[in-house]
Chain A
Amino acid sequence: MSGAESATDVDRSAETNRLTDEVRRLRAELNTSRAVSARALARATRLAQLVSALGKVTGVADVFERAVSEVAELFDADIAVILIPPADGRAGVSLAAQWGIAARGLPPEVVAQPADTRRLTSVFPVVAGPVADFAVPEWIANTQPRHVSWGLLTVRDEHLGYLLLLRRAERPFELADIHELTAVVSRIALAVDNGRLYRRTQDQLHRLQRLNEVTAGLAGVVDVARGAQHLVETLVADVPVAGAAVYLCGTHGHEFVASAGAIKDCPARVAVGQVPTVAGTVSLNLGLEEASVGTLLLTDAPAPGSDARSFLEHLADVGGLVLEKAVLFQRIRAQAETDVLTGMPNRAHFMEHLSSALALCRQSGTDLAVIFVDMDGFKAVNDTHGHDAGDQLLIAAGRRLTEAAGPSGMAARLGGDEFVVACADITPDAVRSVADRIQRAMDAPYLLHLRDNAVKVTAGGSIGIGMARDSGYDAALLLSKADAAMYAAKQHRRSPKSPPHLPMGRALRGSATS
């Protein structure tokens, strides 16, 4: 190798080294430039990433959960914690969500408010720095943080809680981080506020739907007891209240109708002019104030002004209307089914009852008796002592008939001085025993009060019996047979030579005397 060649090789080698160094320098510059670019890109979009992530959840708890993991990742923190005031109003703060603290290292349910949070204001909602600048509680110190950032979650001057970020690496929070964290805490607070609004709207919507369902359910209820029971159960389940009771106004004061849940010692009746009260309850009018149909007693009712209270009052209004309608319906039905003079079931009610009872007896293969009673001396009393006396006689006869028929028999006034008794599931022998009892009751003298004095009268009755099995379980035929038997009995009374016993008929003589 010549000296010239050697020199050339040296030059080439030097040039190669120079170029290699240059490439290395350029690559380093390129890498630095890429790092700056990456950092800038990541920072430029991390707030948008957080907003996007928080936009995917609606519940407040979900917002907190999502926020801690997202913020920790976006801000390269090892630990993120959100502390909020305890729900039960106790002093201190409780953990709403956390990222990076193992279960074994979690603080108790409620801890003292960390002193550093008092440095936060609405104007300066973020403070950050090395851990030495902070008075971190032990449960935070155990995670061995090197850098700490506290943020205040505040919306419309309401402090919702605090965001704590911890970095365990030697990587301080920069000014850019602090500026962005100011926006972050604001966004989290806004998401929480939106979450609360969403929840409230959802609750209201749910209550409205429930109110519609309850109204629809109650609209068809015409039975007072069932309507009242439905109302109190709905109040306990949906408002909710701990217990509820319904009292309805009547001629004798307030009467207990129904209760549900935790409400005790409800009096059965409250005198006129008094309002039902039970210890530990609040009362609400059912229906309009000036025309209240009754009173609602409630335990643990929601506070006035709350959404739940508003829902309760709506339900009370609906309940009042429904119960008012049911009471009215009950009165109208009672009027339609009752004989005005005697208070007994009238012909229409009796026939309806008879049809149902016959259907049941036919199904069960049992028999049913109809006892037809026609007063013998009514006309004489009416003509002799006047209509008032006649009315008194009818009322008294109806009462005796009802008593004699017993709890299993249904006594009714068909009209005029005609009465009828239906006895279901009965044998011919048993019905004769009932008829005898009725006969004795009808034969006993009546004391009638006239304008100036009282008179004692006897006004017996003629009785005829019809049996369902003999009548093919036909109501009209059955009534007709009983009527015919009664007529035969009446004939026998008038003409004792006629046969004393027509089929199932017995004659019992009656007369009017003064």
Chain B
Amino acid sequence: MRDDQHQSLGYGSSTAVDPATAAQESVRAALSGRTPTPADLIIVFSTIEYDQHHFYEAVVQAAGAAQVVGCTAYSSFTAATYVTRGASAVYLPAAGLTFGVAAADSISGDIYAAARRATELACERAGGDGENSVLMVFSDGLAGDQREVVRGTYAVTGATVPLVGGTAAEDVSMTATYQFADGKLMSNGLVAIWINSPYPLGISVQHGWHPIGDPMVVTRAENNIIHELDGRRAVDTYLSHRGAALPMDELDEAAGQTFARMTFDHPLGLANTSGGFDGRHILGRTLEGALVMFGHVSEQSVVQVMAGDRQDLVDAAGRAAADAVGQLTTPPRGALAFSCTGRVAPLGDQVHTEAAAIGAGLAGAPFAGFYTYGEFARVTGSTGFHNATVVVLAL
């Protein structure tokens, strides 16, 4: 029992206004009296209000010998609480796991190369790949086409190593996100954590959104920019299909990235051959009427506007957790969850119920997570970047 306690995932959170206090309180709570070793990992998720330099200085101090990684979040949660403003920390004792951590900064110039480089280094630092390796990634959610992150990591992991993680977020001002690894704070960076495990880890992704309106064909697109839907300006076509109208006076002012905030509740969904929809949130719009997406959208693909019923979203979160745990061959030590910021609006004042559903799906195992600008999850198939989903990594 004592061993189980020592090996289980620890979590903690703080809503202290002072960044150093928040860092110390959350990390100490996660450690719960345990003394970390250099092989252990501390993961922190903080909201953007903190001075990130002061915050991470305090995290590193509180984490002792453990490696520290983290990123900013729209909000975060643990098994015990939902943190609108503040920080959550996770303590992951090695206990048989090996963590290789690497970072890449200024990734927007060449996201693919940065992701590939960081993954190679992380793998090397973990001592190469093992029988049950998993790659966890936190990237700058505003960096550009996140599919390039998947492509870059996939070149190193291949199909046999699953991918999991989330993109760093902030308060939907779409200004800047922060990432931390290797003792370095970045605002356009990527953190790769290569995990080698003696037993299989569980990964699952679910969303619970459903399509509304008619299907639209992406008639002109380039990487993560949709220029035309059904042969018309993408913004116009999207707005005509989304059902709930946007206030036109605000819309006129919603140039660029504030448009993202207004459209989070109705992402686009790309029909896939598995019978599901891959969500794509809107990062902004251009003056020419194009939609800038968080991830790549193929030309000639079919998209539909998506809507989320509260209960469907919550149920999906529970399924993701249960599915991830179901893949384990040993009792869960805990889990990490990455949920999309776009889910917060449909969940409304019941946003905490999503974390509760995850907890229920995990059958009481400790967990923590954060709300992202996009999730990474790839176990089979080639699609690894998602929007509007809940991704759960069960350990």
Contact = CB atoms under 8 A, between A and B. Distances in A.
B298 A38 contact: no
B276 interface: yes
Interface in B149-167: 151, 154-161
Contacts of A252: none
B141 to A, nearest CB: 21
Interface string A65-89: 0000110111111111000000000
B272 A45 contact: no
A76 B154 contact: no
B300 A76 contact: no
A73 B382 contact: yes
A contact patch SS? helix
Nearest to A35: B275
Contact of A38 (B129, B159, B277): B277
A78 B129 contact: no
Interface string A92-126: 00000001111111000000000000000000000
Contacts of B381: 73, 76-78, 167, 169
Interface stretch (A47-55, A226-234, A241-249, A457-465): A47-55
B160 A51 contact: no
Contacts of A167: 380-381
Contacts of B211: 34, 38
Nearest to B220: A52
Contacts of B277: 38
A463 B158 CA distance: 96
Q: Which of B151, B155, B159, B277 has the most CB of A within 10 A?
A: B159
Given A76-B272, A76-B381, A78-B381, A100 B154 contact: yes
Contact of A52 (B154, B276, B300): B300
A480 interface: no
B175 interface: no
A72 to B, nearest CB: 4
Interface in B205-225: 210-211, 215, 217
A78 B273 contact: no
B contact patch SS? loop
Contact of A78 (B270, B301, B380): B380
Contacts of B226: none
A423 B161 CA distance: 87
B299 interface: yes
A42 B272 contact: yes
A49 B299 contact: yes
B5 interface: no
Given A100-B154, A102-B129, A169-B380, A43 B298 contact: no
Interface in B120-179: 129, 151, 154-161
Interface residues of A, number: 43
Contacts of A347: none
A102 B383 CA distance: 17
A41 B302 contact: yes
A41 B129 CA distance: 38
B271 interface: yes
Contacts of A44: 302
Contacts of B300: 45, 48-49, 51-52
A149 B326 CA distance: 30
Contacts of A42: 270-273, 301-302
A88 B158 CA distance: 28
A102 B156 CA distance: 5
Contacts, number: 105
A52 B382 contact: no
B275 A46 contact: no
B273 A102 contact: no
B302 A69 contact: no
Nearest to B155: A103
Contacts of B215: 41
Contacts of A166: 159
Given A72-B382, A78-B381, A99-B382, A34 B210 contact: yes
Given A45-B300, A73-B382, A73-B383, A168 B274 contact: no
A218 to B, nearest CB: 43
Given A39-B274, A76-B274, A53 B299 contact: yes
B272 A79 contact: no
Nearest to A180: B273
A38 B158 contact: no
A37 B274 CA distance: 11
Interface in A146-170: 166-169
A41 B380 contact: no
A288 interface: no
Contacts of B161: 102
Nearest to A104: B129
Nearest to B272: A42
A143 interface: yes
Interface in A229-278: none
A69 B298 contact: no
Contacts of B151: 69
A166 B381 CA distance: 9
A144 interface: yes
Contact of B158 (A36, A41, A70, A143): A143
B273 A75 contact: yes
A158 to B, nearest CB: 28
B154 A38 contact: no
Contacts of B299: 49, 52-53
Contacts of A34: 210-211, 275
B159 A79 contact: yes
B272 A78 contact: no
A25 to B, nearest CB: 16
B380 A38 contact: no
A48 B302 CA distance: 11
Given A49-B300, A69-B151, A43 B273 contact: yes
Interface string A423-451: 00000000000000000000000000000
A53 B382 CA distance: 16
Contact of A39 (B156, B275, B298, B383): B275
Given A74-B273, A78-B380, 15 more contacts: A36-B275, A42-B273, A46-B273, A48-B300, A49-B298, A52-B299, A73-B381, A76-B381, A77-B382, A78-B159, A78-B381, A102-B155, A102-B158, A167-B380, A169-B380
6 contacts: A35-B276, A38-B272, A42-B302, A70-B298, A74-B273, A169-B381
Interface of A: 31, 34-39, 41-46, 48-49, 51-53, 69-70, 72-80, 99-105, 143-144, 166-169, 171
Interface of B: 129, 151, 154-161, 210-211, 215, 217, 270-277, 298-302, 380-383
